[in-house]
Amino acid sequence: MSNESTISQPVNYIADAWSEAETVPDAWNLDPNTRERVHRSVTTAPDDVERALRHAERVYDVGHWDEDARRERAEILERVADIVETRIEDIARTDSLTSGTPIGVTREVAAFLPARIRASAADLVNIPRVTALAAGGRDVRLYKVPWGPAAILTPWNGPSFIPAAKIASAIAAGCPVILKPSEHAPGSAQLIVECFLAAGLPSGALQLVHGGGDVGARLTADPRVKIVSFTGGPGAGRAIARAAAEDFKVLQLELGGNNPVLVLDDADLDVTADGILDGMTKLNGQWCEGPGKILAHRSLVAPLLDALTERISKLVVGHSLDEDVQLGPISNAPHFRTLQDRIEQLWNLGATLHRPARLPELGGYFLSPTIAVGADPAQATAELFGPVVSLHAVDSDEGALRVANASPSGLDAYVFGADTGRAIDVGSRILSGEVRVNGAKIADLGDDSAQSFWGLAGIGGHGPAESVRVFCGDRVVGVDSADLPL
């Protein structure tokens, strides 16, 4: 397969028509493997953002949620899934050139997209939009009503999956969507939008605007937007929350954190090292639920470090489009600098750095998976968001819990231990929305998983049953009665 960078210049989709996006002077999106130019960086003019907002407001209609309407919307999503299946290789390649994640991994992610979209279609058919309530024979109904126009802001680390999942959920709910992907990942999002549009969406159901934080700020502050779904960093999350407070928008903010890993004294060393390595290299470590701060029983610190460095030294690091590569480059220049700064901060806290991987001579944003050992865990709190972990010694389960909960990530956590009952008990006491025992997969732990974002991890949550639900509000309509007590 050619490693040539071939992502088209991004364009907007506003008011049911494709239109050129403005180019940013002297700015380019670069191939993270080589730092070669891929396309000009783009943004959206304020007048075009206004056109998108007007169109979303104009087409919003609560509508009727009878069986025919629900099935028609579900059939559209089924068609979207069918179309995505024909674009898997395009999506995987664009994701790989955008995020730096190896093509073998992005193919797996892209291949899962149709199932995720079909899950929203199934929710449409299976979750009642109107439910009769028990009310002593009176006609009282509970309606699930779409909130209204939705601004969806997506990150560069899940460049196709996150837009596809959020758009499918919002469209299933009935919210007109304005999507603004990360300025570092416009190509993947555009491919996903093309698939949705080819399925025959109603007018205004989906619009696409490109740009950076200024475009996102205009969308999220506008009163015509009723719900904001955002995955990204805490700084942008706080700005969105402040803007949303003016008219009390509904928010779903997934902001990440420095996720703790508790290694209990009975942990199997191979299971632990394999799980941590999987977590710190999955998506090149660029995922908000990845492991960050390892709190290992003192007796296991040295052997765990040896096991991890041995495994890292054998990783194949290289161009993200090479079939045999296990780890690609960091996605973009700003995040590459951020990771280097965070590694230096750990070194300044007294950590010893272990970076055993061999790096290719390609000129890209390559970084060896790094283990920083010995820093004060109370100060090692910054989210790492890359193939980097810090390793710290603790003397007991209680000590590990104290450190983990003193500055909780609130999003994800991990526990490794041979006695799974004990490990689950410890995990239930960590201030986090999800705790995985003896592994570091991404997929939901169970069909009915539900994960809240605790503390600084954000607002809201996610899970299979919640994806469509977050875009709907409840409305009770019914006949009153003189017999009610008050």
- Residues 281, 453: Cα–Cα separation, whole Å: 23
Which of 435, 424, 429 is CA-nearest to residue 398?
Answer: 429
Secondary structure class of 387 (helix, strand, coil): coil
- Residues 59, 203: Cα–Cα separation, whole Å: 7
- Residues 384, 292: Cα–Cα separation, whole Å: 6
- Residues 1, 361: Cα–Cα separation, whole Å: 19
Token pair 């200024």 in the structure block, residue = 214
- Residues 57, 150: Cα–Cα separation, whole Å: 10
- Residues 235, 245: Cα–Cα separation, whole Å: 16
Count CA atoms closer than 13 A to 334's CA, side-chain side: 7
Chain centroid to Cα 184, Å, comes to: 14
- Number of C-beta neighbours around residue 4 at 10 A: 10
The H or E element spanning position 365 is none
Count CA atoms closer than 13 A to 177's CA, side-chain side: 30
The conformation of residue 317, written as its DSSP 8-state character, comes to B
- Residues 482, 460: Cα–Cα separation, whole Å: 38
Which of 386, 320, 335, 325 is CA-nearest to residue 94?
Answer: 320
User: Considering 78, 183, 254, 466, which one is annotated as catalytic?
Assistant: 254
For residue 254, indicate whether it is catalytic.
yes
Catalytic residues: 254
